[in-house]
Amino acid sequence: MATNLAIDEKLLSEAVKVGGFKTKKSAVNQALKEFIEHRKRKDILKVFGSIEMEPAYDHKQSRRMR
């Protein structure tokens, strides 16, 4: 799917350089992936502390069972 976007050329060039990308397309795709991951992490933080934990639950026990 071809899409025309007005992207700041200076920012794009810097992203390509800093990221070590060979193409502008790969830099944009990686930036989008990182943006999505960042937003999903922020959403997870919103529920932090709102889930009740079982005080007797031993989270290390499952590791020992492996």
The residue with greater pLDDT, 40 or 47, is 40
Give me the phi and psi of 28, to 5 degrees please.
-65, -45
At 44 the pLDDT is 82
CA–CA separation, 38 and 56 (whole Å): 32
Instruction: Write out the two tokens for 48.
Output: 């932090």
- For the segment 49-61, the average pLDDT, to the nearest whole number, is 80
User: Most distant CA pair in the chain: distance in Å?
Assistant: 56
pTM (2 decimals)?
A: 0.65
What are the structural domain ranges in the chain? 16-47
